[in-house]
């Protein structure tokens, strides 16, 4: 895919056919985690494909390049980068967008919360800059509230995600799975673009439920690809039983 020239509608239709009702596996490991390695993430993606995943979410151009060597699945690309003058860390500036464009992920996801980006840039301005520079690139909005999702939908993001629910100050009181996924149901009632359910969907039962409620597809990460997190849940359960 060429993000500067491809027609977004055609690419979105192709991805919709592949992703609808399916599971996207997030293959990420940060530098301080045991599995941090582009090679390992590539093999993790291959395992996810073998298990039936319809897409991969990945962090950094190096990991995405290696993942694309291993699997022929649509990729949601991000770059996690911290800046001292902003709370936004998921694809926060054009520098990260440019890095991702080098490896052509089918979708680029970015923080679409109310927080200002580095340099005081608003989501509106950043969105327009990205659309101008890469008009053919599909974009996913990582939101934390129904209000943010509705706003991102109006801006024109191709996919709306629940990625940040519970991870921002304005959503710290929310849990994606609370009250039978009330936040997700609220978002679904407000937006028109496909909604990707992501965040703390850590059991097959929860995954099935969000699809029943109307989510377009699902992203699962830690419950599949972070063994230290998976191990911790077992250890806690054992201690509680003891």
Hey, what domains does the chain have and what are their CATH numbers? 8-241 (3.20.20.70)
Q: What is the pLDDT of residues 123-180, one digit of tens each?
A: 999 999 999 999 999 999 999 999 999 999 999 999 999 999 999 999 999 999 999 9
Query: In angstroms, rounded to a whole number, what is the distance separating the alpha carbons of residues 69 and 159?
Result: 25
Between the alpha carbon of residue 204 and those of residues 6, 176, 231, the distances in Å are 35, 15, 17
The pTM assigned to this predicted structure is: 0.95
- Total Cβ atoms within 10 A of residue 170: 14
Beta bridge partners of 26: 57
Contacts of 90 (CB under 8 A, 6+ apart): 78, 79, 80, 109, 110, 111, 142, 163, 164
Runs of H (alpha helix) within the chain: 8-19, 38-50, 61-70, 94-101, 123-133, 146-155, 178-190, 204-213, 222-225, 227-241
Helix or strand (DSSP H, E) at 159: strand 159-161
Query: In angstroms, rounded to a whole number, what is the distance separating the alpha carbons of residues 75 and 91?
Result: 15
Q: What is the pLDDT of residues 82-133, one digit of tens each?
A: 999 999 999 999 999 999 999 999 999 999 999 999 999 999 999 999 999 9
Query: In angstroms, rounded to a whole number, what is the distance separating the alpha carbons of residues 30 and 34?
Result: 9
Query: In angstroms, rounded to a whole number, what is the distance separating the alpha carbons of residues 38 and 91?
Result: 18
């Amino acid at each position: 895919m060429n993000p500067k020239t491809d027609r977004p509608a055609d690419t979105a239709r192709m991805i919709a056919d592949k992703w609808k009702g399916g599971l996207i596996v997030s293959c990420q490991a940060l530098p301080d985690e045991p599995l941090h390695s582009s090679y390992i993430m590539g093999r993790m993606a291959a395992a996810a494909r073998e298990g039936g995943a319809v897409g991969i979410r990945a962090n950094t151009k190096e990991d995405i390049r290696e993942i694309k060597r291993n699997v022929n699945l649509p990729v949601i690309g991000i770059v996690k980068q911290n800046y001292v003058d902003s709370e936004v860390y998921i694809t926060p500036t054009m520098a990260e967008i440019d890095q991702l464009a080098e490896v052509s992920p089918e979708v680029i996801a970015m923080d679409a919360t109310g927080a200002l980006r580095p340099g005081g840039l608003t989501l509106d301005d950043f969105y327009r800059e990205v659309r101008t520079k890469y008009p053919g690139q599909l974009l996913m909005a990582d939101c934390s509230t129904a209000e943010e999702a509705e706003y991102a939908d109006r801006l024109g993001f191709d996919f709306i995600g629940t990625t940040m629910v519970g991870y921002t100050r304005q959503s710290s009181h929310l849990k994606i799975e609370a009250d039978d996924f009330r936040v997700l149901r609220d978002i679904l009632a407000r937006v028109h673009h496909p909604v990707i359910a992501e965040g703390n969907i850590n059991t097959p039962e929860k995954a099935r439920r969000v699809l029943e409620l109307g989510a377009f597809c699902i992203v699962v990460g830690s419950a599949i690809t972070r063994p230290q997190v998976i191990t911790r849940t077992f250890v806690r359960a054992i201690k509680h039983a003891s």
